[in-house]
Structure 1
Amino acid sequence: MTDQREVAIVRWPGRRPSVEAGPAALLASYHLRTEAEKGAAVADVSGLPDRYRAEVLDPRTAFADAVVLVALSGDTAVGCLVVTAPVGGRSEIKRLWTDPAFRSKGIASGLVGAALALSAENGVRTVRLSVWKWRADAIALYERLGFAVAESWDERDQLVCMERAV
């Protein structure tokens, strides 16, 4: 018998007070890991660049015009993804993160699938995203989900831009 719980994907904020802090913790992990991968490791959230620290400290305000999706295992937030509001028929996926203890369970694929479905419901024609080139597993996931490398819309070095039709 396994101890695996089913994972549910919900919009945040939602009706479960027990997961209110979930996105902040996941975003903190995401940003701290990213800064370390970029060679700019910081000890805690207080050392993050202002823009990223604001997302962690107040995700409700930081993503007021976006939809935050959270993957829950029971009442524990184990993954998150932000999808921006449509502009000109296009949305962007940002901040996809799965708790390392819950990886390889289809959570990231489920979050992206939910974001694509939400985008389709909102009349979006194209969804795009950017990913650091050293995140080969993430790039492979996006390619499996139909994303292809696109011309860059971001000037940051080592960033791969991808998109797909909805």
Structure 2
Amino acid sequence: MTEPREVVIVRRPGHALSAPDGLAELLAAYHLRTQEEKGEAVAGVDGLPDRYRAEITDPQVAFARDEVLLASIGGTAVGCLVVAAPVDGRSEVKRLWTAPEFRGLGIARRLVGAALAHAEESGLRAVRLSVWQWRAGAIALYERLGFTVTGSWDERDRLVCMERSV
């Protein structure tokens, strides 16, 4: 049996996702918070842009080619991270989220560590990510884990692009 504070990371390829695992709720919280931080708050999931709503309503289709990492404590999903299918020897980390009531337990660090291990096992040369510049805590975490700021591959304003070799 899992101890109450033991964090378990489970890798799930997109085609192996199932609705009751808590991923949809984590993704909804991530996207709603991001919209709020961008100054574009919406009342609920129905107000999100179509592409984000599609991730929440059908993650199996949205992440069919990707690896989804879920962190759980005592069987409750408390964090997630998506490792996008590799392109040009690199994978991309997306949708890193830890439920607010479980922050400070090293969950995000463990999720990113699992993503890096997956990239290494897959023979990739690098992992990249983008993060909103106002998420200073996330940027500091990525820097502690060896990511450095790199040229942008994304046109959106206020986005910091980072990369790390594996």
TM-score greater than 0.5 by the shorter chain: yes
Q: How many angstroms does 1:99 deviate by?
A: 0.3
Residues 39-58 of structure 1 aligned to structure 2 (within 5 Å): 39-58=39-58
**2:128 aligned residue:** 128
Alignment of 1:137-152 (within 5 A): 137-152=137-152
- Distance 1:125-1:78 versus aligned 2 partners, 3 A rule: same
Q: Distance in 2 between matches of 1:45 and 1:16?
A: 20
Pair 39,16 (structure 1): closer, same or farther in 2 beyond 3 Å = closer
Post-superposition shift, 1:25? 0.3
Q: Describe how 1:1-166 pairs up with structure 2 within 5 A.
A: 4-12=4-12, 20-166=20-166
Q: Identical aligned pairs, as a percentage?
A: 68
Aligned-pair Cα RMSD in Å: 1.8
Consecutive unaligned residues of structure 1, counting only runs of 5 or more, are: none
- Residue 131 of structure 1 deviates from its aligned partner by 0.2
What number of residue pairs does the alignment pair up? 163
Conserved? CA contact 1:86–1:122, under 8 Å:
no
TM-score by length of 1: 0.93
Deviations along 1:20-67, whole A, 9 cap, x unmatched?
A: 341100000000000000000001100000000000101111000000
What secondary structure does 1:80 align onto?
A: strand
Change (3 A) 1:15 1:62: closer
* TM-score normalized by the length of structure 2: 0.93
Aligned-partner residue type, residue 44 of structure 1: G
Equivalent residue of 1:11, what SS? Answer: strand
Distance in 2, Cα, partners of 1:71 & 1:159: 26
Give unpaired runs (5+ residues) of structure 2. Answer: none
